[in-house]
Structure 1
Amino acid sequence: MDLPTIFAAGAPLIGWTTHGLLLNRRLATARRDPLTGLHTRDGFTARAERLIQRHPDRASVLLIDLDHFKAVNDTHGHAAGDAVLAATAVRLSAWCGHSGIAARLGGDEFAAVVLDGPDRARDLFEALHQPVTHAGLVVPVSASIGLCAVAALPVISLTDALAAADRAMYAHKSGGRLARRR
């Protein structure tokens, strides 16, 4: 085989390889929220389900909703709101550590699956109620958290655990308190 034939045969292979690499990079980027760096719903689901399947007796699902977030944007501006979202992501990720996974589901709603969540939930509650400093302003922050211990469910599934955590969160939303479903 002569050199031009080898290059002609290799060109499509190089093109498809490059295309595949770019596609994988775009898919990975789409699974991360650009503002917070947390997983999006799609990136979160498969990992969360695996964690629940591996540790059904220890896994907990949490839903977090920032209280009065619209007021933060209206009072301090969207840049301050973005700073609150980013700070929430950092705090949630730090709390999850290596034994959990965190996601931004959209807007001001976050989710997490962690091991031994009920034992550590108070720490998350306190972290998410710390003010955020942005452009010299101190922005007050509060969050409502719903927690569901997966083992307490009749059928262990991420969907059911998220629904239970959602119900727990909204049951106590007005007080901005930590709510648990047992």
Structure 2
Amino acid sequence: MSMHVASLALPLLGWLIHGGLLTRRLDQARRDPLTGLHTRAGWTTRAERLIARHPAALVLLVDLDDFKRLNDTYGHAAGDVALLATAHRLNAWCGRHGIAARLGGDEFTAIITDPGNVPDLATLRRELNRPISADGHTIPLAASVGACAVADLPVRLLSDALKAADQAMYADKGHHRRNP
């Protein structure tokens, strides 16, 4: 390789490496460091695009019940295990037909583009409510789930779907309190 070609190629190689590193850092910034799921910002952008392209999409909200008590009783390491298990179970339920995210704390969300190709919500609830093992203890886990079919909305907006899913989730949480 001539000196002239090398002097042109070297800066280009540097920019390619720099661009790759920036892309990786942006992707990491859009991921929750504990669970590896998308964060709110990364998920919202994708979810809005998916709603526009998939009129039958389903938006979910998931909240771990009594998470503070779990942390206080078993410790924060057990709380992290609960969050990881919830993230893994939700992501597995979504499969390739959806995207899951951790909104923060013990709140998760997902969008399913083709609800007919994932197990039903009762299956998700059973999975999310399976006990976990942490530090030699079997710890009960409970989650409330709310869902909104985008097709049921007068206008297909993510904000409206999240609001409806939130209301359904709190109704589910109330059902758990009345029927333990």
Q: Same fold (TM over 0.5)?
A: yes
User: CA shift at 1:39, angstroms?
Assistant: 1.2
Q: Gapped runs of 5+ residues in structure 1?
A: 178-182
Distance in structure 1 (CA, Å) of the matches to 2:5 and 2:46: 42
Provide the identity percentage.
59
Distance in structure 2 (CA, Å) of the matches to 1:176 and 1:51: 31
1:33 maps to a residue whose letter is D
Q: Gapped runs of 5+ residues in structure 2?
A: none
Distance in structure 2 (CA, Å) of the matches to 1:125 and 1:132: 14
The answer for the alignment partner of 2:138 in structure 1 is 138
Spell out the pairing of 1:7-156 with structure 2 (5 A cutoff): 7-56=6-55, 58-114=56-112, 115-116=114-115, 120-156=120-156
Distance in structure 2 (CA, Å) of the matches to 1:78 and 1:106: 15
Native 8 Å contact 1:41 1:105 kept in 2? yes
Distance in structure 2 (CA, Å) of the matches to 1:173 and 1:125: 12
Native 8 Å contact 1:41 1:103 kept in 2? yes
Native 8 Å contact 2:99 2:110 kept in 1? yes
Q: Which deviations, in whole Å up to 9, do the C-alpha atoms of 1:156-179 show, x marking residues without a partner?
A: 0111101111122223423338xx
Q: TM-score, normalised by structure 2?
A: 0.88
The 3-state SS of whatever aligns with 2:120 is helix
Q: Which deviations, in whole Å up to 9, do the C-alpha atoms of 1:63-102 show, x marking residues without a partner?
A: 0000110111111111100000010011111111111111
Distance in structure 2 (CA, Å) of the matches to 1:163 and 1:119: 23
Distance in structure 2 (CA, Å) of the matches to 1:116 and 1:5: 58
User: CA shift at 1:7, angstroms?
Assistant: 3.2
Native 8 Å contact 2:93 2:119 kept in 1? no
Distance in structure 2 (CA, Å) of the matches to 1:53 and 1:99: 15
Native 8 Å contact 1:104 1:110 kept in 2? yes
Native 8 Å contact 1:143 1:176 kept in 2? no
User: CA shift at 1:43, angstroms?
Assistant: 2.1
Q: TM-score, normalised by structure 1?
A: 0.87
Root mean square deviation, CA, Å: 2.0
What is the number of residues matched between the two proteins? 175
2:79 maps to a residue whose letter is G
Distance in structure 2 (CA, Å) of the matches to 1:138 and 1:119: 26
User: CA shift at 1:119, angstroms?
Assistant: 7.1
